Structure 1
Amino acid sequence: MGNRLSKIYTRTGDDGSTGLGDGSRVAKDSLRVGAYGTVDELNSTIGMVLASDGVADDVREALTQVQHDLFDLGGELCIPGMAMVHDEDIERLEKVLDAFNDPLPPLKDFILPGGGMAASCCHLARTVCRRAEREVIGLGRVEDVRPQAQRYLNRLSDLLFVLCRVLARASGHGEVLWNHERRRKPQA
C-alpha cells in the first residue's frame, strides 16, 4: 500500500473538488465520484447485513467476498483506466447465486422488503446496488468504464435479491409477499 494517511483532513477538498486515484482533481459531485461513492455506500449497507444477527456462515462468507470485490470496484472507478474487477469475479458471483437460489421454491409473487432485520438490510443493499449500477451506466455514457463494472453490479443485485429470500426464510419471519388483491372490492 502506497501512501498512508497520518492526518485525516487535508483541506484540499474545501473548494468542492476531490482527488482521484490517478492524481487528477474533479468536482465532488462529478459522475465518477457519485458512482464510486454509491459503491462505497453499497459496501456499507452490506456491512449492516453482516452485523445483523442470524446470518449463516455461507451467507457471511459470500458477502465478505463481495465487500472485498466492491472495494476493488470502487478503486477501479476512482482510478480511470484501472482494471480490478474481472470476468472471473462475475462468474464466481453467478455460481454463488445459483447455489443459494437452487434450493428456493419458485417465486410466484412479488416480495416486499422485510422478513427480519438481516433480510431488510439486504433489501436496502439490493436497492443501493441498483442505484450504483444506474450511476455506473450514466458515467459510462460520458467516460470510459469497463463493462465488467456494470455486469458485476447487475449480477450482485440478483444475488442480493436471492439472499433477501434466504435470510427471510432463515429468520423465521418468512418472505413478505405483496398482496395484489388488497385493493379489490368485495362483490356485493
Structure 2
Amino acid sequence: MSRIYTRQGDDGTTGRYLGGRVSKADLLVEASGDVDETVALLGVARASTADAATAELLLRLQRELFVVGADLAANPTHRDRLAAEVSRVTPRMVATLEALIDRLVAERPLRPVFVVPGATPAGAALDHARTVARRAERHVVAAGDAGGAVSMEVLAYLNRLSDLLFVLARHAAGEAEEPASRA
C-alpha cells in the first residue's frame, strides 16, 4: 500500500525540487502555494465556462503554472538542471502571454472604468485567480528583496498572467459587468 504522507515535513520544512529542504514559511514556498491556489481557481473557471476555446486556454495556463511552481521550488544551486518550459519559465512563455493579451484586447477593448467582479461564475473565478496570481507575484518580489534566488522570468510571467486573467475575466463577464461607481 502506498501512503501519501511521508512525515518529512513534520519539522516545518518542505523538500525543494532538485534537493534540499527549506522552511514552509519561506517566501518562495508561500509563492508556490499561491501558484497552486491559482491553478485550482483556474480549474473552477474552466469548469464554469461554456466556451471551449477559453476552457482549452485555461487548461494550458494551469499546465504552465506547474512550470512556474517547479521553477519557484527549485534548489537555486541546481538551476542549471532545469529544462526550458518544463521546469523553468522562459522569456518565450512571457511573450506568448503578451501576444494573447494584445489579441484579446484588440478583439474587445477594455472599458475605461473599474468594474465589480461577479457578473458571471467564470468571470468571478478568473478575477479570483487574478488576485491570487498577484499575491504570488508579491511573494516572489518579497523573496527577492530578502535575498532569495528569484527568477526574473517567473516574476514577469506572473505579472503578465494576472494581466491576462483580468482581460479573460472581462471577456467572460461580457456586458453584464457593473461599474464600481455610478456617476
TM-score, structure 1 as length reference: 0.86
How many residues align? The count is: 173
Q: 2:151 aligns with which of 146, 152, 158?
A: 146
Q: CA RMSD in A?
A: 1.6
What is the letter of the counterpart of residue 9 of structure 1? Answer: Y
Q: Match for residue 101 of structure 1?
A: 105
What is the letter of the counterpart of residue 150 of structure 2? Answer: V
Q: 1:127 aligns with which of 127, 131, 145?
A: 131
Q: CA deviation at 1:29?
A: 1.1
Q: Match for residue 17 of structure 1?
A: 13
Deviation track 1:112-134 (CA, whole Å, cap 9, x = no partner) reads 11111110011100100110110
Cα distance in structure 2, aligned partners of 1:106 and 1:140: 32
Gaps of 5+ in 2: 83-87
In 1, are the aligned partners of 2:28 and 2:73 still within 8 Å (CA)? yes
Structure with a larger share of its residues in helix: 2
Q: CA deviation at 1:80?
A: 2.7
In 1, are the aligned partners of 2:117 and 2:124 still within 8 Å (CA)? yes
Gaps of 5+ in 1: 1-5, 182-188
TM-score, structure 2 as length reference: 0.88
* Rg larger for: 1
Q: 2:167 aligns with which of 162, 169, 176?
A: 162
Deviation track 1:57-100 (CA, whole Å, cap 9, x = no partner) reads 22122211111111001001111333511000011111111121
In 1, are the aligned partners of 2:110 and 2:170 still within 8 Å (CA)? no
Describe the SS at the equivalent of 2:9. coil
Q: Percent identity?
A: 40
Q: Which segments of structure 1 move beyond 4 Å, counting only runs of 4 or more?
A: none
